[in-house]
Amino acid sequence: MKQQGLGFESFEALSHDAGSQGIQAPVQLISGYLNADQQAALLNEVDTYPLTRPEIHVYGQNHAIPRTQAWFGDSGCDYLYSGLFVKALSWPKYAGKLREKLRRDFGITANGVLVNRYANGQDSMGWHCDDEPEILACSDIASISIGASRDFVIRHKASQQQYRIPLHSGDLLIMHAPMQDEWEHCVPKRLKVLEPRVNFTFRELIKHYHGA
Ligand SMILES: O=C(O)CCC(=O)C(=O)O
Ligand SMILES: [Fe+2]
């Protein structure tokens, strides 16, 4: 398990702006956090998840998102994002074990996880930040990747400086507050990638934000 600090020494800068040198994103990359058995157990379990491809409303039009997803969480942890209201499904076994592991290892107290499956490099996620009001202020978001390697690109809102963080199978990326206030992120298309990738983002929501 290799751990990189909050600096950017090994992340590739995509654009250079002399005025914004030295910006540090509050992220932590733990390469190889999950071993092969843990990854396999999770990937098998994902085959049983009720993944859907919801439509979201953007600029007056409905678009099916370019990936499939599912939301699991404690009761009272329903989630409204991109105009979609999603009831929390109960925790699957290995996703629940992973939540416990993150709590033990990093003190991350997530009560929900968004699972995104990218069938291949045609699937993607556009620029966004995870700043919905039901996300507990100052909480961390822990992102686990399994399967194909994909680039995760972050962009500093004020300077527009971008960095590419390649995420490989088994990696953990922790986004610490105030990441979502100051940076956006995306998973761009990579047409050469033919294999699927699954990503779990563990989040802490304000319970019962949307009522009982
Ligand atoms: O797939 C990823 O690495 C990112 C997922 C993400 O940004 C999200 O679920 O909000
Ligand atoms: Fe995100």
Average pLDDT, the chain: 91
Q: Is the pTM of this model over 0.90?
A: yes
Residue 157 is encoded by which pair of tokens? Answer: 């809102």
pLDDT at 21: 53
Q: What confidence tens digit (pLDDT) does each residue in 150-183 have?
A: 999 999 999 999 999 999 999 999 999 999 999 9
Residues of the chain predicted below pLDDT 50: 5-9, 16-20
Indicate the top mutation candidate among 33, 118, 143, 144 to test ligand 1's pocket, ranked by most ligand atoms within 8 A of CB: 143
What ranges do the domains of the chain cover? 23-47+79-199
CATH class entry, domain 23-47+79-199: mainly beta
Instruction: Provide the 3-class DSSP secondary structure of residue 118.
Output: strand
pLDDT at 82: 79
Known binding residue 203? Answer is: yes
- Among all bound ligands, the one having the nearest atom to the CA of 149 is 1
- For every residue of 159-177, DSSP letters joined together read T--EEEEEE-TT-EEEE-T
Q: What is the pLDDT of residue 1?
A: 55
What Å distances lie between residue 32 and 9, 140, 199, CA to CA? 18, 19, 14
Distance CA 178, CA 61 (A): 31
ipTM of the prediction: 0.99
- Determine the Cα–Cα distance for residues 12 and 166; give it in Å rounded to an integer: 9
Residue 118 CA, closest ligand 1 atom number:
1
Query: In 120-205, at which residue ranges do the beta strands (DSSP E only) sit?
Result: 125-128, 141-147, 150-156, 162-167, 172-175, 183-187, 197-203
Annotated binding residue 79: yes
Q: Which of 124, 201, 205 is the pocket-test mutation for ligand 1 (most atoms within 8 Å of CB)?
A: 201
CA 210 to centroid of ligand 1, rounded, Å: 23
Q: Phi/psi zone of residue 116: left (φ > 0), alpha (ψ -120 to 50 degrees), beta?
A: beta
For residue 8, the model assigns a pLDDT of 47
Among protein residues, the one with the nearest Cα to ligand 1's atom 6 is 201
